Amino acid sequence: MTNIEHLNIVILAAGQGTRMKSSLPKVLHPLAGQALVQHVINASKKLSPEIINVVYGHGGEQVQQYINDPEINWVLQAEQLGTGHAVDQVKDQLKDNQLALILYGDVPLIKVETLTKLLDQAKDGFSLLTVSLDNPQGYGRIVRNSKGLVEKITEEKDASNDVKKIKEVNTGILAVKADLLKNWLGKLDNKNAQEEYYLTDVIAMAVKDGFTIETTQPNDEYEVLGVNNRLQLAELERYYQQEQANKLMAGGITLADPTRIEIRGELIHGQDISIDINTIFEGNVSIGNNVLIGANCIIKDSKIADDVVILPMSILDNTSVGKGSKVGPFARLRPGAVLSENTHIGNFVEIKKSFVGLGSKVNHLTYVGDSMVGKNVNIGAGTITCNYDGANKHQTVIEDNVFVGSATQLVAPVKIGKNATIGAGSTITTDVADDELAITRVKQKNIKGWKRPVKTKK
């Protein structure tokens, strides 16, 4: 967090992004499961600004619908006439006592720490984020005077050969007092190679008015790299994921292959966790200590307690797994599934909106939905809770110490009492009392001399 007061953030997100070759606005293309512009908004909120303005243009309705954030002030740039023109659309939102921070919706990896340094430097008027690149092609160059002070920024299309040799470039990210910015915006013109209103021209204006342009640089150039095509998007995705993997390993997690894990949200974790290849974490996930997660799992918005084993090919979505439990392989826990301690959910088992009690087992080829399952219950292979009647969902209650035989259908609403036993192959449509055995099999009939039908020749 920063202690800057009266902060006004402007995020430029109006570009069409033609090089993405997509009907989706560029700033909505996902990185780590979130739109590019959402990453910038998330970083902005951590600075505690008075207001966040997003300047939109191409595909504006899509951008607004996707973000759907009441804290955002949306500003239309009907024509894309350059960055200076874009910021000028926000001029009426800028109060003289505010500090304006200009960010970009297609530069998703900017860090709060870097922006805090930039804002601290801007208290006297103006600060600029620059970066030194081995290959600065395409970027505006930072032109300094003999004293090393910033004199102006020259865009590459307007640069001489000598200026093109400069490796320090403009990131476009800057912080400036709002009253000064408004004054300089009113003086911009489009007399340049692209016939656009460059925001960068305010640098020369500030220097002319006697201001020193303070500069700072990010710790890593990836913080300020923008996305203009899918190749660049993929490159930033790989960088981001490697950075997340490094943090996990530093925090006590063993990764079978750090290049084959995807973090698409926030992962809170303990220690002594082992994660195999190709596992994806989405949304908000919490993992306790001594957890083993097998290959090719997807875990979304879920909480996993200590000493849990998640075997390969399992999917957990908005679920809670109790201490010492075992899930998988090929298990699916759907939203609302809550497993108590020491439960076993086996292969090709699906649990939806159900509680499974302490020590209970659902090990094979079973669907449990809208159910309350007690302690030490054993549900046999091929069991189905028939919770949907075609119009409404109904609940199944299975109390403690129940044994449900294989290939059973429990037609909800139905209650199975404590210590009851359900014979294999039964269809249960009425309640079963405590300690009862329920069997609904049809008596077996064997027909001697049975001739199997054969296909009729045409």
364 backbone dihedrals φ, ψ, rounded to 5°: -145, 130
253 backbone dihedrals φ, ψ, rounded to 5°: -110, 135
pLDDT recorded at residue 4: 67
Residues 6+ positions from 447 with CB-CB distance below 8 Å: none
pTM equals 0.90
CATH annotation of 230-438: 2.160.10.10
Domain 7-224 listed as CATH 3.40.50.300: no
**1 pLDDT band (50/70/90 cuts)?**
very low
Question: Catalytic: which of 6, 29, 58, 364?
Answer: 364
> Can you tell me the mean pLDDT for 283-293?
98
> Can you tell me the mean pLDDT for 5-21?
91
Measured distance CA(266)–CA(302) in Å, rounded:
11
314 burial level (CB within 10 Å; 0-12, 13-18, 19+): buried
> Can you tell me the mean pLDDT for 435-446?
93
Strands (E), 395-447: 396-398, 403-404, 409-411, 414-416, 421-422, 427-428, 437-438
8 Å CB contact between 346 and 362: yes
Helix (H), strand (E), coil (C) string for 89-113: CCHHHCCCCCEEEEEECCCCCCCHH
Structure tokens that stand for 123 in this block: 């208290």
> Can you tell me the mean pLDDT for 293-299?
98
pLDDT recorded at residue 425: 95
**Catalytic residue status for 269:** no
Q: Does pLDDT of 2 surpass 70? A: no
**352 pLDDT band (50/70/90 cuts)?**
very high
Burial 74-105 (b: 16+ CB within 10 A, else e): ebebeeebbbbbbbbbbeeebeeebbbbbbbb
Report the range of poorest mean pLDDT among 150-154, 306-310, 406-410: 150-154
Q: Does pLDDT of 45 surpass 70? A: yes
Tell me the pLDDT of the chain averaged across its residues: 95
Neighbours of 41 (CB within 10 A): 22
> Can you tell me the mean pLDDT for 99-126?
94
pLDDT recorded at residue 333: 98
**138 pLDDT band (50/70/90 cuts)?**
confident
Per residue in 375-401, pLDDT (tens digit) is 999 999 999 999 999 999 999 999 999
Q: Which of 114, 97, 81, 84 is nearest to 15 (CA)?
A: 81
Three-state SS at 300 = strand
Domain chopping of the chain, boundaries: 7-224, 230-438
Q: Which of 142, 138, 112 is nearest to 225 (CA)?
A: 138
The residue written with tokens 């996902």 in the block is 30
Of 61 and 325, more confident: 325
> Can you tell me the mean pLDDT for 128-140?
94
> Can you tell me the mean pLDDT for 277-295?
98
Structure tokens that stand for 200 in this block: 């960068």
Q: Does pLDDT of 287 surpass 50? A: yes
How do strand 361-364 and strand 344-347 relate by DSSP bridges? parallel
Q: Does pLDDT of 3 surpass 70? A: no
> Can you tell me the mean pLDDT for 403-418?
98
